[in-house]
């Protein structure tokens, strides 16, 4: 006996968040988008959907948040489609440059009417195929003032990070520069940064040395900074085992928050917190 597939009725007018994958049926999604006049958040797991014609007839005037978890194949026409969504306040672009040499499209995104008005920006870039042009990168920020309250930047060198601060960030409260392998260059990555409202800083995943952390904290470059997410290794070693108990390696035990505050942040007023997502 065959089983019939009964389509599920969805009230598009009540839709506020929509998450789409590559296999999404274009016809049904187009009908749904025609009703989704109040859509606020759009997550596109396949950037090819931007070039599919799916969004050609819809302005999505209420859209405030766009997430591209895999922008490896983002195109110029896809960027042009994004630029039409002028109401965007939050943009997350991950994997740009991973499978094709498309890092130059950052300039297209930065030219969008909404870019300076964003309050949340997350850029996770890949330079595996071609290096990011420092001049192009600097042009995204230089001489511009941003409304950003939260900024997340991954997989960048200290030199590239330092170019970001050629722009103005008078409202920035949260800065996540975890995962950039800065090591001894934390201060260099933040040189000339004027962040008068910064409260939380995430620097995990940078292989920071304790002395680099202490040098940054002692300089106290940001007057309102209160919390820092950081990972440091202690002098104590431990064995690591796999799922069946077999030893697979040996390494240092991570320092806990109290140890870091006592040994490396004493007198600075900074407290250690867990950070934002994976470090």
Residue pLDDT, tens place only, 177-210: 999 999 999 999 999 999 999 999 999 999 998 9
Q: Nearest-CA neighbor of 220 among 201, 246, 233, 238?
A: 201
CB of 175 within 8 A of CB of 195? Answer: yes
**pLDDT value, residue 218:** 93
Q: Please state which of the ranges 23-27, 48-52, 231-235 shows the lowest mean pLDDT.
A: 23-27
pLDDT digit string (tens) for 220-274?
A: 899 999 999 999 988 888 888 888 878 888 888 889 999 999 999 999 999 999 9
**Percent of residues, the chain, with pLDDT higher than 70:** 95
pLDDT digit string (tens) for 92-106?
A: 999 998 877 889 999
**pLDDT value, residue 5:** 45
Angle between helix 257-264 and 210-219 (nearest 10)? 60
**pLDDT value, residue 111:** 96
Q: How far apart are CA 191 and CA 221, in angstroms?
A: 9
Q: Nearest-CA neighbor of 44 among 80, 17, 7?
A: 17
User: Any idea where the domains of the chain sit in the sequence?
Assistant: 13-132, 161-279
Q: How confident is the model at residue 2 (pLDDT cuts 50, 70, 90)?
A: very low
pLDDT digit string (tens) for 67-76?
A: 999 999 999 9
CB of 203 within 8 A of CB of 177? Answer: yes
Chain mean pLDDT for the chain: 91
Q: What architecture is domain 13-132?
A: Alpha-Beta Horseshoe (3.80)
Is the pLDDT at 1 greater than 50? The verdict is no
**267 contact partners, CB below 8 Å, separation of at least 6:** none
**pLDDT value, residue 147:** 98
**pLDDT value, residue 14:** 82
Q: How many CA within 13 A on the CB side of residue 126?
A: 18
Q: Nearest-CA neighbor of 176 among 276, 70, 90?
A: 276
Task: Give the neighbor-by-neighbor strand order of the sheet with 17-20.
Answer: 17-20, 41-44, 65-68, 90-96, 120-125, 150-154, 174-176, 200-202, 227-229, 271-272
**pLDDT value, residue 279:** 63
């Amino acid at each position: 006996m065959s089983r019939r597939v009964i389509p599920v009725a969805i009230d598009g007018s009540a839709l506020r968040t929509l998450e789409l994958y590559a296999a999404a049926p274009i016809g049904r999604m187009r009908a749904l988008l025609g009703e989704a006049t109040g859509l606020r958040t759009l997550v596109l797991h396949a950037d090819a959907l931007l070039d599919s014609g799916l969004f050609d007839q819809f302005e999505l005037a209420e859209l405030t948040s766009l997430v591209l978890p895999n922008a490896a194949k983002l195109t110029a026409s896809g960027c042009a489609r994004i630029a039409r969504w002028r109401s965007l306040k939050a943009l997350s672009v991950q994997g740009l440059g991973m499978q094709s040499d498309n890092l130059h499209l950052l300039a297209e995104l930065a030219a969008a009417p909404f870019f300076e008005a964003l309050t949340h920006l997350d850029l996770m870039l890949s330079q595996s195929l071609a290096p990011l042009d420092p001049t192009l990168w600097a042009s995204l920020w230089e001489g511009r003032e941003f409304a950003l309250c939260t900024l997340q930047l991954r997989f960048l060198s200290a030199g590239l990070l330092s170019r970001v601060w050629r722009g103005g960030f008078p409202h920035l409260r949260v800065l996540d520069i975890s995962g950039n392998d800065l090591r001894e260059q934390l201060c260099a990555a933040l040189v000339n940064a004027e962040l008068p409202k910064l409260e939380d800083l995430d620097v995990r995943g940078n292989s920071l040395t304790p002395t680099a952390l202490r040098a940054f904290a002692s300089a106290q470059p940001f007057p309102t900074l209160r919390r820092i997410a950081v990972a440091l290794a202690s002098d104590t070693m431990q064995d690591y085992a796999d799922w069946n108990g077999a030893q697979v390696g040996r390494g240092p035990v991570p320092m806990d928050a109290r140890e870091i505050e006592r040994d490396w942040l004493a007198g600075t007023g900074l407290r250690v917190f867990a950070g934002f997502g994976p470090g």
